[in-house]
Amino acid sequence: MSLKDPDSLYTSSAQRAAARVKERPTLSIIVPAYNEAEVLDELHRRLSAVIDGLGVTAELIYVNDGSRDATLDILYRLHSADPRVAVLNLSRNFGKEIAMTAGLDHSRGEATVIIDADLQDPPELIPELMTRWSQGYDVVYATRLSRDGESALKKLSARYFYRVIGGMSPIEIPKDTGDFRLLSRRAVDALCRLREQHRFMKGLFAWIGYRQTAVTYHRDRRSAGVTKWNYHKLWGFAIEGITSFSTAPLKAASYVGLITAMTAFLYASWIIYKTLRYGEPVAGYPSLMVAVLFLGGVQLAAIGVLGEYLGRMFNETKGRPLYLVETYERPRQDERDLRC
């Protein structure tokens, strides 16, 4: 028994577990950050003000998702200035979904809030999220009433994206809701058990179930810096969302195949009848071409859909870790590792 290891002071694992529970901060805040140097100081100032106002114990987990600007330096500065700050530095850019997962894996709070670094999600909404949590909700998500400072096309595509995916997926994914939300301890523990590579977090949040509720807010424009999304990435995100949570495209492919085959059968019957009845001079090149091209197109599209799913299975079977951590500076207020 070494006195250096505080765990060894407890004789039974139940005691140890009880002591750990006592040490949990009330609130963990996870901030995924990719090239956010311009906004971090302001974000931290506003987050700290909110936490101070709440008067709860808290840890702030900033996840550096392979930033190429001064983000990491600023985070280390915040870490040495504020004992509540933890800095999780990933080994490269893994994307926001994975950065959030990494943050969740390291969060220990009774409640955990995920918030964007760019102040588009107002930290001042956190007390309202916590009020709902104290009423017994496990997931309190923030639904946008408006989105400032985003292009009409982005708003429109976002709007339809949430509706299309809602229509296709068997689980209900809340509309116009980003990742800004509060999760109870058991919700975080449940999420930590979902280790799939293709992570559509909005779907995973919905998948876990439990008691969920919404609060509404107006989404501000970015306080500084630029969005990390472009239409290419958004398209990939949409495909990810659909294929991770719905097999509707596979079904659609089979139905299109079935309908085409039936049409072809009827058409063939008609041609046989016509040829027997009237004979057939050499003709029919256009109809032949149309049929061949149409069938070829349908087949390629169906194979493409299959390929999307197969590619995802290929990635899952590799069983790689979701991310690699380069360094983890835990909050200076406690040195104990209590990951889930």
Question: Which residues lie near Mg ion (CB under 5 A)?
Answer: 118, 120
In this complex, which beta carbon is closest to ligand UDP, that of residue 38 or of residue 59?
Answer: 38
In this complex, which beta carbon is closest to ligand UDP, that of residue 75 or of residue 305?
Answer: 75
Q: Round to whole Å and give the CA distance between 266 and 305.
A: 27
Q: Which two tokens stand for residue 276?
A: 């027997």
Stretch that binds ligand UDP, among 1-9, 27-35, 252-260, 261-269 (CB under 6 A): 27-35
User: Which residues are CB-neighbours of 201 under 8 A, at least 6 positions away?
Assistant: 97, 100, 101, 179
Contact mark string toward ligand UDP, 41..70, x via CB under 6 A: ------------------------x-----
Q: Which two tokens stand for residue 158?
A: 């976002």
Q: Should residue 103 be labelled a site residue for ligand UDP when binding is judged by CB under 6 A? A: no
In the complex, the smallest distance separating the C-beta of residue 99 from ligand UDP, rounded to whole angstroms, is 4
Query: How many residues belong to the site for ligand UDP (CB under 6 A)?
Result: 16
Q: Should residue 36 be labelled a site residue for ligand UDP when binding is judged by CB under 6 A? A: yes
- What is the amino acid identity at position 232? H
Contact mark string toward ligand UDP, 209..248, x via CB under 6 A: ------------------xxx-------------------
Q: Which of 27, 29, 30, 33 binds ligand UDP (CB under 6 A)?
A: 33
Q: Should residue 113 be labelled a site residue for ligand UDP when binding is judged by CB under 6 A? A: no
Q: Round to whole Å and give the CA distance between 266 and 18.
A: 72
DSSP letters for 281-330: -S--HHHHHHHHHHHHHHHHHHHHHHHHHHHHHHHHHT---S--EEEEE-
**Among 31, 23, 190, 40, residue whose Cα is nearest residue 126:** 31
In this complex, which beta carbon is closest to Mg ion, that of residue 180 or of residue 245?
Answer: 180
CA 221-242-168 angle, to 5 degrees, is 105
- The position carrying tokens 């909110």 is 50
260 binding partner (options ligand UDP, Mg ion, none; Cβ < 5 to 8 Å by kind): none
Q: Which of 99, 139, 142, 173 binds ligand UDP (CB under 6 A)?
A: 99
Task: Count other Cβ atoms within 10 Å, centred on residue 231.
Answer: 10
Q: Should residue 34 be labelled a site residue for ligand UDP when binding is judged by CB under 6 A? A: yes
- Residues forming the site for ligand UDP (CB under 6 A): 32-34, 36, 65, 93, 95-96, 99, 116-118, 120, 227-229
